[in-house]
C-alpha cells in the first residue's frame, strides 16, 4: 500500500512540475507575442520598410484633405445660393482650418522624409529592413 502511495505522490509531483513548466513557457510565449504585436503596430517599422510608399501615401492623403477643404470652403452657403462670397467674406475658421490641414500634411511628409533619411544614414549598407527581418522571423515560427 505504501508503494502505491509513494508512486501516487511521485506522479503528482511530476504532474505539478509539468504544469509549472507549461505555465512558464506560456508566459514566455505571451511576452514574445506582446513584443511582436508592438512591432507590428509601430508605424515607424512600415516607414523604414517602405519609405517611398509612406511619403507618397502621406502626400496623397494631405493633398486630398486640403483639396476637399478648399472645395468645401469655396461652395456657396445654402442661405444665399446665387451670391458668391468675396474674399473678405470668407470665414476665418475655414481659412484657419485649411491652412492647419496643409501644415499637418507638410509636417507628416517632412517627418516621413526625415525618418527615411535617418534610416538610410543609420543602416547604410545593411541589407533588409527591420520589418523584413521581422517577417522572416515570423515565418520561421
| Dihedral (CA of 36, 39, 41, 47) sign | negative
What pLDDT, on a 0 to 100 scale, did the predictor assign at position 40? 78
**CB 98, CB 64: distance < 8 Å:** no
Can you give the pTM of this predicted structure? 0.33
pLDDT truncated to tens, each residue of the chain (141 aa)?
A: 678 778 888 888 999 999 999 888 888 888 888 888 888 778 888 888 888 888 888 888 888 888 888 877 777 666 655 555 555 555 666 677 777 777 888 888 888 888 877 777 776 655 555 555 556 666 665
Nearest to 68 by CA among 48, 43, 98: 98
38-68 burial: b if 16+ Cβ within 10 Å, else e: eeeeeeebbbbbebeebbebbeeebeeebee
Amino acid at each position: 500500500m505504501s508503494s502505491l502511495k509513494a508512486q501516487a505522490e511521485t506522479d503528482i509531483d511530476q504532474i505539478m512540475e509539468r504544469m509549472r513548466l507549461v505555465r512558464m513557457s506560456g508566459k514566455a510565449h505571451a511576452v514574445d507575442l506582446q513584443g511582436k504585436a508592438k512591432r507590428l503596430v509601430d508605424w515607424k517599422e512600415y516607414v523604414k520598410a517602405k519609405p517611398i510608399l509612406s511619403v507618397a501615401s502621406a502626400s496623397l492623403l494631405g493633398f486630398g484633405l486640403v483639396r476637399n477643404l478648399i472645395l468645401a470652403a469655396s461652395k456657396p452657403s445654402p442661405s444665399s445660393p446665387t451670391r458668391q462670397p468675396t474674399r473678405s467674406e470668407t470665414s476665418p475658421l475655414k481659412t484657419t482650418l485649411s491652412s492647419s490641414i496643409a501644415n499637418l500634411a507638410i509636417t507628416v511628409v517632412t517627418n516621413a522624409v526625415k525618418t527615411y533619411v535617418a534610416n538610410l544614414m543609420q543602416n547604410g549598407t545593411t541589407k533588409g529592413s527591420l520589418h523584413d527581418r521581422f517577417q522572416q522571423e515570423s515565418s520561421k515560427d
